[in-house]
């Protein structure tokens, strides 16, 4: 288990690094858009920004999942 001052290092391809950077930037941008939409009570914009955030979060998760080991005990089906 990681302590507060430890980091996690994984080696990923150059393409995945770019996709990860875009995914993180997009996720952060969607969070800002959600905050602005909530402030203006724009329900359509809230929905759109939540959808964008969801897509970016899934991209990030897929990249990390690609580079981690999984076992049957972790929910991977044969």
pLDDT in tens, 29-74: 999 999 999 999 999 999 999 999 999 999 999 998 888 765 656 5
State residue 60's pLDDT score.
93
Task: Tell me which residue has tokens 């991209």.
Answer: 59
Residue 77 belongs to a domain: no
Higher pLDDT, 6 or 57: 57
Residue 1 belongs to a domain: no
Cβ neighbours of residue 52 closer than 8 Å, sequence gap 6 or more: 26, 29, 30, 33
Please tell me the total count of domains within the chain: 1
Residue 58 belongs to a domain: yes
State residue 19's pLDDT score.
93
Measured N-to-C along each axis, helices 43-66 and 14-39 cross at an angle, to the nearest 10 degrees, of 160
State residue 9's pLDDT score.
76
Residue 48 belongs to a domain: yes
Q: In whole angstroms, how far apart are CA 26 and each of 9, 17, 34?
A: 22, 14, 12
Residue 72 belongs to a domain: no
- What is the extent of the structural domain holding 58? 14-67
**Overall pTM surpassing 0.85 (yes/no):** no
């Amino acid at each position: 288990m990681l302590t507060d001052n430890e980091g996690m290092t994984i080696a990923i391809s150059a393409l995945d690094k770019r996709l990860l950077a875009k995914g993180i930037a997009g996720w952060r941008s969607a969070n800002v858009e959600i905050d602005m939409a909530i402030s203006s009570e724009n329900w359509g914009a809230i929905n759109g920004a939540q959808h964008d955030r969801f897509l970016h979060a899934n991209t990030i998760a897929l990249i990390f999942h690609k580079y981690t080991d999984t076992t049957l005990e972790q929910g991977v089906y044969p």
